[in-house]
Structures are given as C-alpha cells and as structure tokens.
Chains A and B, each alone.
Chain A
Amino acid sequence: MEDNKPASFIDQLVVPGDVVLDLSKMGNQTIKLGGGLHQDCDAITVTKAGRLRFSKPNKYWVESSQKRYVPCVEDTVLGIVVDSKADNFLVDIKGPAMAFLPVLAFEGGTRRNIPKFEAGTLLYVRVVKANTGMNPELSCTDAHLTCPVLEALGKKLSFEIAVGLNGRVWVNASSPSTVILVANAIMNSESLSVVQQKIMVDKLLQRIQ
C-alpha cells in the first residue's frame, strides 16, 4: 500500500513544498537547477506551481507562466529607461530590481559619445549579470530569433520587431493595421501548437487580402 510512488515526478504538475529529487540517491552527478526549484540539504523542493521538466544531461526546472520576469544571464529583453546617472542608465526590465546599463556598454562607446536617453526610451538589451541581491547589469546588442509565427507573417508583410524575454515586444510597420495584425498574431499564438499557429496566421492574413 505504501510503495506506489512514481519513479519520478518529471513532466508532472507540482506545487510548492513537493520534494522532487533526493540527492542522496543520485550518486555523485552534478545537476543544474533552473527556476522554481530550491535545494535544502539533499532534498530538492518546488517553490513555484507548474510542470517539472528535465533536459539532458542534467537540468531540472519548473515550467510555469508568470507576469514578472526573473533576470537570467544571456536573455535579451526590452527595457524602459527610468533615469540616467553618471556611469549607468537605470532601466526597468519588469523584474524585482532596477537594472543598470553602463553608459559605455555600446558598440564603439566612449566617454565622448555617450547616448542621451530620456526617461521612457525603449531599449533592446542583453542581460550580462544577474546575481541574487544585486541589480542586474545590461548591455546593448543585436539578436536574431526564428519563430514560425513571425516567419509566416514576414512572407506577406513588412515590419520590424524586437522581442524581449521579459514579456515585452516592440513592433513597427508603415501602416497601423499591420502593427495590429502582427501584435494580435503574437498574442493569439501563446497556447497554440505549431500547426495551429500556422492555421491562425493564414486566417489573419486572408482577412487583409
């Protein structure tokens, strides 16, 4: 009656308090813990409700949707300038703390050509440092992303886009109806499979032709 425990909780729905891994039974391997998991001696407990995921060789995390962003190194995000100081711009990236963008962290940046960003300027930046207890640090950069929805839209429409991993997206096009169509396509695609996304984009594009 007692031994009906599943071999593992991977791909199962978990809530805070669940103990999903026992390090004392896992030999000497190193494992990586992503979001939603916390180590307490040998027990790995869940801290956010969601689905426990595993990716080879050794990474575990809890997949969940949330409105606030948890800064992670190498993420590209859209930030809004809040203030500028002598050495840094203060940028809001929808996380627990304000992020710093050093005034020199630009291509060819020197003390003589520091950009002048007013409060409210939208910037596309990369997270360079994200340590607990410290403000995240950013840098200005370029990035290329592939996505079925954007590729399908790009075949018929002309627009510019910057996608932030912190939940902000910037879209620009010559006509407002194109901007609205692209924005709607992205928002609609959140819970659809790849096949469903293609059907949804085709339907939206048919409406304007």
Chain B
Amino acid sequence: MSMEIGRDDGRTANQLRPLACSRNILNRAHGSASWSQGDTKVLAAVYGPKAGTKKNENPEKACIEVIWKPKTGQLGKPEKEYEVILKRTLKSICLLNINPNTTTSIIIQVVSDDGALLPCAINAACAALVDAAIPLKHLAVAICCCLTESGYVILDPTKVEEQKMKAFAYLVFPNSAISIIPEGSSHMEGELMEHGIITSVTHGVMSVDDYLHCLERGQAASTKMSAFLRRSLQSQAPNDSSRAG
C-alpha cells in the first residue's frame, strides 16, 4: 500500500479531524446547527419555508437561498462562489415539490477557518435543514480531498496543508441510508460509486487517475462521516419517555 506520509498534526493520509455537531443552538431560527472539523467551525441557521419566492425563481417549486457571512470583512469572490455551490448542493437534496411558492433561507456564519471550510459549511447547512424539519430526499456529506506535490491524496486538510497543495477537490456524497430493500437488487458489479455523487468542485491540476483516487478515498471517508451524522441526528430525537396509550 502507499507509504504513510507525516502530517503536521500526526494524522494519517485518510484520517479526519475530530468531528462535532450540535443542533438547535439558536432560539429564533427555525433550524440551526454548528459543525466543526478540528479547528474549522461553521454555524448554519435555517428560516422557512416562508411564503413567496424570490424574483426569477420558479413559483411552482420551493426556492432555496444561501447567505454566506465571513468571519470578518465583506463578501469576496470566493464567498460568492461558495453561496452558489451551497445553493446548488442543498437544492439537490431538498424535495422542492412539497412546499411550492416558498423560500427557505440558509445563513452560514464562519466561526473559524482552519481549512476545508466549504465542506464544513455544507455539513453544517445539512444538519440545520434537518433541525428545521425541511423535507429532504437524503442527507449530504461533504469532504475535501487534496493532492500533495508528491502525488499523495490526503483528506480534510488544515489551512496550512491546503496552502501547500497541488490540487484539491470538494466532494459531496449522499449519506449511507438504511433500507428495507436488500442491497443486492441495486448494486452493480465492480461499481464503486453505487450511491453517486452530489457535488464535485476541483481546483488546480490533477490527472484523471488522481481524481478517481480522490473519489475513492472521499467515498470511504463519507461512509464514516455518514455514521457520525446519523448518530448525531439521533441523539437529539424527541424524548419518548411519555408513551401514548
């Protein structure tokens, strides 16, 4: 297998930073969540669905709006791009036919940025949508995979690591779902991506093989993150100590 590369914080190439997720942390928002990966932390708030859609949006479907709030300063080009990527990603996991002619707003507040900021924001936004009980097709699990100068793929980089990368990819996968329908009926021979991918954003130059390698590592990590997300969402389920007769 590949050599172990030494990362500054002692992690292996495939190791994620500690994950933490809290829901229902803002009183007035209809749904809220904070998500942190190591020292990168993002807060997401969801308001809606509220009546009416924005200009140029299809009133026959629900509309999603994303507002990005950087830790300091104004919105620059990277932040505006994050808003677009977030909007497209979240739109694809929402069931837009259920509440037509409504707008659901997601506000992203950066608390601290130590690398992999956009994937962290996507994870926070997804948890906040669940907290607001917005109807979703499935969940989204986001991860950053990068390619070092020496050709290794590492996951969930810190800011220092990000700055030294040759290329990176933000990948968003659907969560691993439990199903009453047996796995065998939908699995294709030799197909790694049986569950597909929601979003892929790449920066820098990488070969096709490197990209496929990123997809494979990212998919494997997303399975672990999916299990974490499931446990996290279930630990705050309504208390059922009062059972109805």
Spell out A's residues near B (CB within 8 Å).
Answer: 2, 5, 8-9, 13-22, 36, 38, 43, 45, 47-51, 63-68, 96-98, 132-133, 191-194, 196-197
Give the interface size class of chain B.
35 or more
Which of A17, A48, A197 has a CB less than 8 Å from the CB of B133? A48
Chain B positions 218-243 with a Cβ under 8 Å from a chain A Cβ: 229-230, 233-234, 237-243
Query: Is B137 an interface position by the 8 A CB rule?
Result: yes
B179 contact set on A, CB distance < 8 A: 18-19, 43
Query: Is B115 an interface position by the 8 A CB rule?
Result: no
Shortest A121–chain B CB gap in Å is 19
User: Chain B binding site: helix, strand, loop or mixed by DSSP?
Assistant: loop
Q: State A19–B139 Cα separation when bound (angstroms).
A: 13
Shortest A24–chain B CB gap in Å is 9
Which 9 pairs of residues, A with B, have the shortest CB-CB distance? A17-B138, A66-B133, A17-B177, A96-B49, A16-B136, A19-B179, A47-B135, A191-B239, A13-B234
Q: How many A-B residue pairs have CB under 8 A?
A: 124
Query: Is B101 an interface position by the 8 A CB rule?
Result: yes
Spell out B's residues near A (CB within 8 Å).
Answer: 30-31, 48-51, 60, 93, 95, 97-102, 130, 132-133, 135-139, 174-175, 177-184, 229-230, 233-234, 237-243
Knowing A9-B178, A68-B30, A96-B102 are in contact, say whether A49-B237 is a contact too (CB < 8 A). Answer: yes
Structural contact, A18 and B133, CB atoms closer than 8 A: no
B184 contact set on A, CB distance < 8 A: 2
- A47-B136, A96-B48, A97-B101 known, 16 other contacts, Cβ within 8 Å: A2-B182, A5-B180, A15-B230, A16-B137, A16-B138, A19-B179, A38-B98, A45-B137, A47-B95, A63-B240, A68-B30, A68-B133, A96-B49, A133-B101, A192-B242, A193-B242
Structural contact, B49 and A48, CB atoms closer than 8 A: no
Structural contact, A16 and B139, CB atoms closer than 8 A: yes
Structural contact, A51 and B240, CB atoms closer than 8 A: yes
